[in-house]
Homo-oligomer: A and B are copies of this chain.
């Protein structure tokens, strides 16, 4: 059976379905009143409440409350899930080896138990990251300014990697720090550090923060340090753009 779902199951049935689901490497869904304790990188305890529990074929384990985007408790992929029954009560356990992490769940009342052997080979296609920005600038350096010639990407320094290194039309060295969203003071400080490294060489260097926008504090700090800001939106174009709009709407 590829898919099974049972409302208000007995503890025995609930146990059986979960156990089968784990062995079949299916996606398991539970709606239940439960409590949970976690021990590992930190420690936590969650009292009884009604939640959704999700166990994935890759070992991921999630407990979702009725609010927030993040699960309230979880275990990462490759964790080992187990189900057990003691005195008519069903327990779930998920263990990660390295680092040692334990999640234990007690199910008090199960409203729905279900497993589903799903098929999904699709990968998400995204655009609009810092990496995309780097590629865009590399291909179209004039977006930064006329005469800009990028020379190195991911240039390694003692302070970290410089996103893009290049020269302006006058041959002056330029250090570019890219951010795909609004840049804060931290981005400026980072850029400043790269420049300090280069200034030891007694050369004149320009530092440019490239981002769609910048906070007021950051702009102030930037100007204090004679650094520059260049507004640039990250590229916004998927591979099969036309296909999408046709397929969906």
Please give the residue numbers on chain A whose beta carbons come within 8 Å of chain B beta carbons, in ascending order: 3, 5, 7, 27, 29, 31, 35, 37, 41-52, 54, 56-58, 60, 62, 64-69, 71-74, 76-77, 104, 106, 111-112, 114, 116, 118-122, 124-129, 159, 180-181, 189, 234, 236-238, 240, 244, 247-249
Whether A50 contacts B125 in the complex (CB less than 8 A), given A45-B244, A58-B68, A244-B37, comes out as no
Considering the complex, give the chain B residue whose CB is closest to the CB of A69: B60
Q: Would you call B116 and A50 a contact (CB within 8 A)?
A: yes
Residues on B with C-beta less than 8 A from A73 are 124
**A35-B247, A57-B67, A104-B248 given as contacts; is B52 within 8 A of A27 (CB)?**
yes
Contacts of A64 in B (CB 8 A): 54, 56, 62
- The listed residue (B37, B52, B104) touching A29 by CB distance below 8 A is B52
